[in-house]
A and B are shown apart, each in its own frame.
Chain A
């Protein structure tokens, strides 16, 4: 296998340049490949769950984990992002116990401690919804949330529930992309109204996801018990595999592992239990 870095953000460029395998979540790329006869498309397992993290109110600590209405999440998945997305579906591994030994953070939404001073206005210069810079899906979600907060009294109730500081936010909300270091610092200092971040979602089960999250500084920072965040799942996102026909076969294990097969050994793309 030869991995070729592409200088373009548009995955159609390497396809046209002769790449045999391209993994992309951009619907435009997938639609483009589907229109070409030389490529086969195979959706991959749902690999990320985008969550909305906001300061946990002390009074709400014992309440049930927040959820958004399915209609709203469908609207988000349909219009806010340019990716194959669906409303987030549980169960969510960070709400389940039993994976502490695997390095995953313990459940935080119900019993996690709040930040020492989540409402201190000195910690925030303005009301921003932060996302990891370079993540187009997170940016789309954050921008949609900003658009929703601009409706004045028509702000959706679920959003106010998820971000309880929203009504007292200092001025209009804005979206801001931060690099991992700055995002981690913003989480620690509470220097944002809310965070939109991807959390790993592994087919192998909650502990596998927890292991992956432990290696992701952004997800780890948001889900850390010390962050005292209220986590609202928004949407699941997956990518699709685009394979040039006749080059190789592809098999996907139950835990999501991709396996390349000899071109003559398997017919096209298949799944293995």
Chain B
């Protein structure tokens, strides 16, 4: 698991977990409170419905009492009831009395249960009223009666009152319609809040409320129900059902879920972005540091680990830089030791070779000395005889000297003016047509300790490469500058061109042996430059952008300060071998 992945996971957990807990907690609390509130509303509505039904029954009973008293007083109706007089007076009585009494259901039954007068269905006259007389007469409270009219049926909340007349017992039954308006009145205008009142009665699919589901909260009031509209009247139980829809709660839940998902997605996106940014800020310098470290080897100790960061990464980079500095010093010492060892071996070889070369010469000289002492007259002849040996020995030594001279180049390390070297290179450079080459030199530049030839090769290689990258147009600037980094003075040579530039991948390999971007390049120029710079105890880096040009910067230890004071290099200058 990479550091970036860990940061991502941590960010997601930190962002999502509190949000999820908050949402779930809020959702649970709201649901609990609303459910309790709905339950209280349903119970209150049910109590009100129960009270309304009771009071409505009492009102109906009161009105029936008044009508019964009117029947007794009305002579025509009384006569028709008792003596069966012809005419429509009795038939029409209930039709007229019912609206005056504010009722929707009214029947007058004779002692045998036959309809003498019906207000809600005039032509029900003479029909046997089924079980209306027995059921209503025996009920202690209101009864729901499904009655028939010419146009259909309806349900009435009915009561009955007995009427004694002429020694016979008649029954007056009346009620109010329990239609939609009646039920809506029971709901007391709470329909908009999700509260509804419905009548559930046997055999009526359309008026049966939906079964109790988690989507609704209900309470019921059971009442006796007489289906007098059926061919065979039946007595059953009907229910007034108060229902509170949980749709608002469900909608609230859905809304909260939607916003939770939206918040979750937002938090996830934010967490990912933050994780990417944090991870990038943390890992990018580490990646760069790893890249620099990857480039390190004993031949390439010119990697720059300097950092201005004040955090742990900066500390690590500085430690790496210090380690590289120590490595460079160690490598220099190692090379020096190797060189000394090599010189010792060479000295022994030279000693051996010279001794070998001198041996015949010493023999000839010794021979000539003996001849001169013992036979001076023969000296000329002997000399002539041994002259060839002398010449051969001397020639051998001369050849030996030439050979060693070629094997051991001169390490000419002396104070050198880098500005002078740069001027010479610029002066002698062949500038192609359409291109410019100019110098921006620091006149107070301190000298460096090095071989002028090696320095010239460094500057020459960089300038030639820069001119070749111009492709016939653009310019090259050769600049020098003094710099003081802490207690260390350095001299910087910068060669900047506006040429074709190279990409990051090529920059990584530009100092490798045999790597070239030129069609006929050998791939050794910059590699040699890097080694020469390293031998001088310096470092080289490059910054390049394709299409915009390149900038090579060589940093060398200054031999003396810009003001003329001496400044010893931190590492011993090295010579190219």
Contact = CB atoms under 8 A, between A and B. Distances in A.
A140 B127 contact: no
Interface stretch (A143-151, A158-166, A202-210): A143-151
A142 B125 contact: no
Contacts of A176: 151
Nearest to B87: A78
B232 A152 contact: yes
Given A79-B125, A152-B232, A146 B153 contact: no
Contacts of A98: none
B121 interface: yes
B26 interface: no
Given A174-B151, A175-B150, A80 B123 contact: yes
B317 interface: no
B148 A172 contact: yes
Q: Which of B150, B152, B231 counts the most chain A CB atoms within 10 A?
A: B150
A146 B86 contact: no
Chain A, interface size category, equals 20 to 34
Contacts of B152: 174
B148 A143 contact: no
B460 interface: no
B302 interface: no
A141 B517 CA distance: 115
B151 A140 contact: no
Contacts of B148: 150, 172
B86 A147 contact: no
8 nearest A-B pairs in the assembled complex, by CB-CB distance: A152-B231, A143-B150, A175-B150, A144-B123, A143-B123, A147-B123, A147-B124, A146-B150
B122 interface: yes
A82 interface: yes
A75 B229 CA distance: 23
B487 interface: no
A9 to B, nearest CB: 15
A71 to B, nearest CB: 13
Interface in B209-258: 229, 231-232
B197 interface: no
B533 interface: no
B86 A78 contact: yes
18 contacts: A27-B88, A75-B126, A78-B88, A79-B88, A79-B123, A82-B92, A142-B150, A143-B123, A146-B150, A147-B124, A147-B127, A150-B124, A152-B231, A152-B232, A172-B153, A174-B150, A174-B152, A176-B151
Contact of A150 (B91, B125, B229): B229
A150 B120 CA distance: 15
A79 B95 CA distance: 13
Nearest to A27: B88
B155 to A, nearest CB: 15
A144 B231 CA distance: 16
Interface of B: 86, 88, 91-92, 121-128, 148, 150-153, 229, 231-232
Nearest to A140: B123
Q: Is the interface of B mostly helix, strand, loop or mixed?
A: loop
A143 B88 contact: no
Contacts of A142: 150
Interface string A54-73: 00000000000000000000
Interface string A191-214: 000000000000000000000000
B88 A82 contact: yes
A147 B125 contact: yes
A143 B122 contact: yes
A232 to B, nearest CB: 18
A153 B86 CA distance: 27
Given A27-B88, A79-B91, A82-B88, A143 B127 contact: no
Contacts of B121: 143, 147
Interface in A38-96: 75, 78-80, 82
Contacts of B151: 174-176
Interface string A84-117: 0000000000000000000000000000000000
Nearest to B115: A147
A70 to B, nearest CB: 16
B127 A151 contact: yes
Given A143-B123, A150-B127, A152-B232, 4 more contacts: A142-B150, A146-B123, A146-B150, A150-B229
Contacts of A79: 88, 91, 123, 125-126
Nearest to B231: A152
Contacts of B92: 82
A206 B86 CA distance: 34
Q: Which of A142, A147, A176 counts the most chain B CB atoms within 10 A?
A: A147
B204 to A, nearest CB: 13
A167 B522 CA distance: 116
Contacts of A151: 127-128
B470 to A, nearest CB: 97
A140 B150 CA distance: 9
B361 to A, nearest CB: 145
Nearest to A177: B151
Contact of B229 (A140, A143, A172): A172
Contacts of A144: 123
Contacts of B124: 147, 150
A174 to B, nearest CB: 5
Contacts of B231: 150, 152-153
A147 B88 CA distance: 17
B93 to A, nearest CB: 13
Contacts of B123: 79-80, 140, 143-144, 146-147
A144 B115 CA distance: 13
A242 to B, nearest CB: 19
A143 B95 CA distance: 14
Contacts of A172: 148, 153, 229
A140 B122 CA distance: 9
Contacts of B126: 75, 79
Q: Which of B86, B148, B153 counts the most chain A CB atoms within 10 A?
A: B148
